[in-house]
Structure 1
Amino acid sequence: MIRFLDCFFSLLGLVLGAPVLVLLLIIGFFDTGSPLFCQQRVGRNQRPFTLVKFRTMRKGTASVATHLANVGDITAFGRFLRRTKLDELPQLWNVLKGEMSLVGPRPCLTSQHELIAEREARGVMQMRPGITGLAQVKGIDMSTPVLLAETDAEMGVDLTVSAYFKYIFLTVLGKGAGDRVVG
């Protein structure tokens, strides 16, 4: 049922959101010269996939976990995208392709070995990664791998259709900060 909801809502979001996506692409082009950011992430069963987001940092910024990034690298438009969570919209394509879900553990970088090990030990790596989830609405980021993996596992046990909508609703309302740049 959740995969059906993912497909339905991601397709709906891409179609209805197309004018907004195009506008953000154009503004992003003028902001950084390269509006999309693609990065290898760890997916379900540790399969790598290419995550797509709107670029919020200057081109050429080091590819590190968000909590390790330099706040000075975020552009003014990037701050707006992050604050409104619009930088996540291109991930609807990842959801439609089946690499992600709307709700699940945030996909980590291939270099985040401690987090991958903690998630693997708790069965989290069997879940499809998501755009939002329990950790994001609680404001838990990737700087605390054990707590994050425990929270992801808790969400996995209790992920019902009702919880799926609850996490999406709380995210839209701005609950939690999820991964944030410190500084």
Structure 2
Amino acid sequence: MDIVISLIVLIPFLLIWLTIAILIKATSKGPIFFLQDRPGLNKQIFKVYKYRTMKPGSEKMVKGQEVMKDDDRITSIGKFLRRTKLDEIPQVINVLKGEMSLVGPRPERVASLEDYDDEITKRLHMMPGMTGLAQVSGNIHLSLEERYKLDVYYVENYSLIMDLKIILRTVGVVLLGEDRYLNKSLVDIESVNKEVAAAKEEAVSNEKNPNNRG
């Protein structure tokens, strides 16, 4: 599915991607693409592809802090590309190379690995995605901890149905913006956590009191 959809995105709309490349080159100095090392499945490092949306020399970022839409480092065409998520389109190349999937936890900067504990590391047990649960649930408006929780939930509860829901919600994000889906997560993690905690408590109780077992 990853390969088929990537080819559908890439080939029929090739003229649009070439036009974007020309506009990037014509409106600001610097390369067309932005390449950066990112950790993928099982911490394997690969280079992620994006259309360049920022001025040259803006590569240094603060860990855990997203580039907001009013950042003055963003180029004129870059604002449009980031708003519509078209800057992520070159990652279909990563998908075709087998480094990414259409849906999965977004690949972070390599420096972020220093802060990973065993729980957060679970997000690296699946291939990173062009879009993900956190990206359609508020994304830049969420804290880093909230995004991690959504990523881990996705890895632990993966299903094709969830992928389809995320892809459909991604279309909405592109058309309406991330703000529209703030506080409208596809899953209620708090309720799930309470159910899991209750199940564990019941299991412990049954272990201590065999007569309670049905």
Above 0.5 in TM-score?
Answer: yes
Change (3 A) 1:79 1:172: same
* 2:127 corresponding residue in structure 1: 128
Equivalent-residue separation in structure 2 for 1:78 and 1:144 (angstroms): 24
CA drift of 1:104 comes to 0.3
SS at match of 2:134: helix
* 1:52 corresponding residue in structure 2: 49
CA drift of 1:67 comes to 2.6
* 2:65 corresponding residue in structure 1: 67
Kindly indicate whether the alpha-carbon contact (under 8 Å) linking 1:38 and 1:52 is maintained by their aligned counterparts in 2: yes
SS at match of 1:16: coil
> What's the TM-score, normalizing by structure 2?
0.73
Change (3 A) 1:114 1:150: farther
CA drift of 1:84 comes to 0.9
* 2:143 corresponding residue in structure 1: 144
Equivalent-residue separation in structure 1 for 2:2 and 2:34 (angstroms): 22
Kindly indicate whether the alpha-carbon contact (under 8 Å) linking 1:42 and 1:109 is maintained by their aligned counterparts in 2: yes
Kindly indicate whether the alpha-carbon contact (under 8 Å) linking 1:114 and 1:145 is maintained by their aligned counterparts in 2: no
Q: Give the letter for the 1:158 counterpart.
A: N
* 2:13 corresponding residue in structure 1: 17
Work out whether 1:78 is the aligned partner of 2:78.
yes
User: Runs of 5+ in structure 2 lacking a partner?
Assistant: 180-214
What is the number of equivalent residue pairs in this alignment?
Answer: 171
Q: What are the Cα deviations for residues 125-168 of structure 1, in whole angstroms up to 9, with x where unaligned? A: 11100111111111134973332222111112232222112111
Higher Cα radius of gyration:
2
Kindly indicate whether the alpha-carbon contact (under 8 Å) linking 2:106 and 2:130 is maintained by their aligned counterparts in 1: yes
Equivalent positions of 1:158-169 (< 5 A) are 158-169=157-168
Kindly indicate whether the alpha-carbon contact (under 8 Å) linking 2:104 and 2:128 is maintained by their aligned counterparts in 1: yes
> What's the TM-score, normalizing by structure 1?
0.85
Q: Give the letter for the 2:42 counterpart.
A: N
Q: Give the letter for the 1:39 counterpart.
A: Q
Q: Give the letter for the 2:47 counterpart.
A: T
CA drift of 1:92 comes to 0.6
* 1:89 corresponding residue in structure 2: 89
Q: Give the letter for the 1:67 counterpart.
A: Q
CA drift of 1:9 comes to 0.6
* 2:194 corresponding residue in structure 1: none
Work out whether 1:119 is the aligned partner of 2:120.
yes
Q: What are the Cα deviations for residues 87-129 of structure 1, in whole angstroms up to 9, with x where unaligned? A: 0100111111111111000000001135543521xx2211100
Higher mean C-alpha deviation, range 49-58 or range 150-159: 150-159
Work out whether 1:31 is the aligned partner of 2:30.
no
SS at match of 2:111: coil
Kindly indicate whether the alpha-carbon contact (under 8 Å) linking 1:41 and 1:50 is maintained by their aligned counterparts in 2: yes
* 2:178 corresponding residue in structure 1: 176
- Give me the CA root mean square deviation: 2.1
- Report which structure shows greater RCO (CA 8 Å, sep ≥6): 1
Kindly indicate whether the alpha-carbon contact (under 8 Å) linking 1:115 and 1:146 is maintained by their aligned counterparts in 2: no
Change (3 A) 1:161 1:68: closer
